[in-house]
Amino acid sequence: MNKQLEKHQQVERTITKTYKKTIWAKFTSAINEYELVSDGDKIAVCISGGKDSMLLAKCMQELQKHGKSEFELEFLVMDPGYSSINRELIEANAKMLNIPITIFDTPIFNIVATTETTPCYLCARMRRGYLYKQAQLLGCNKIALGHHFDDVIETTLMNMLYSGEIKTMMPKLHSKNFEGMELIRPLYMVKEKDVIAWRVYNELRFLQCACLFTEDKEKEDESKRVEMKNLISSFRKINPHIDMNIFRSAHNVNLDTVLGYRKEGEYYNFLDEY
């Protein structure tokens, strides 16, 4: 008689079996194609409590068990000032999913509350700084964030339409402020609809938005990122491959047909070599 699997084992099985093509294969493709993990790495998986970071944590655990590289993992949860209900939900989910989290407190929400500028940008910058610092204290050389395929293409469009530049979200980058540290995005090729499907299939309940400044508001769909989601959705009705084409565009930049570009802070114009 087969022993019934515990919840975390059931969830792990769905990643490598049920969602092998849509999640596991794309996760490992990003790991390999962008060379995100190497032997000897100590990686801090940053968990916000949402579906993306929780899936990332489980994928990294599976990679550690079944992958070719030898590396260590830490699971970092930064509490920027969550309500007790939200913090307890993160802790309960981590326990259920067998993720050994380390929680540390920061005053980010209190600091952001006093700013006159857009709180989201400042909050994101501060979060990353705290995560880098804590990861470094734990002896890590990389932090892993849960950004997925949809985040990448939405960022690409946002930069073009609102900033007038062709710039995407990178699968990995070196920290400018924390020497020797890197940021990696292992879910880079995984689509959000598949993350949602995995969550629903496993009947999991994660944090939506735990920000004190938005959780009671109904205007979130006015944000630029949601505008991009809606725009891409409308494009998809015309061309079902539009999202993949946006994604690939950043992999296939033809410098012979652009008027100018920046490299390491220096601007180059096509007339320089005309």
**Mean of pLDDT over the chain:** 90
Band of the pLDDT at 219, cuts 50, 70, 90?
A: very low
CA-based torsion, 111, 116, 117, 120: positive or negative: positive
CB 76 within 8 A of CB 42: no
Token representation of residue 140: 């890590």
Residues 6+ positions from 241 with CB-CB distance below 8 Å: none
Residues 6+ positions from 136 with CB-CB distance below 8 Å: 178, 180, 181
CB 206 within 8 A of CB 51: yes
- Chain Cα centroid distance, residue 151: 8
Can you tell me the distance from the alpha carbon of 122 to that of 88, in angstroms, rounded to the nearest whole number? 25
CA-based torsion, 53, 233, 165, 272: positive or negative: positive
Token representation of residue 80: 């920027």
- Residue carrying the six token digits 């652009």: 258
CB 129 within 8 A of CB 177: yes
> Which of 220 and 251 is assigned the larger pLDDT?
251
Residues paired with residue 192 on neighbouring β-strands, in sequence order = none
DSSP per position, 65-120: HHSSS--EEEEEEEESS--HHHHHHHHHHHHHTT--EEEEE--HHHHHTT-SS-HH
* SS3 state of residue 73: strand
Band of the pLDDT at 79, cuts 50, 70, 90?
A: confident
Question: With 0-12 CB in 10 A as exposed, 13-18 as middle and 19+ as buried, what is 189?
Answer: buried
Conformation bin of residue 273: beta by default, left when phi > 0, alpha when psi is -120 to 50: alpha
Q: Residue 218 above 50 pLDDT?
A: no
Q: Classify domain 7-265 at the CATH topology level.
A: Rossmann fold (3.40.50)
pLDDT score of 254: 94
Token representation of residue 88: 């307890």
Mean pLDDT, residues 98-115: 82
> Which of 126 and 254 is assigned the larger pLDDT?
254
Helix (H) or strand (E) holding 269, with range, is strand 266-269
Residue type, 189: M
> Which of 116 and 215 is assigned the larger pLDDT?
116
Mean pLDDT, residues 169-186: 96
Question: How do the domains of the chain map onto residue ranges?
Answer: 7-265
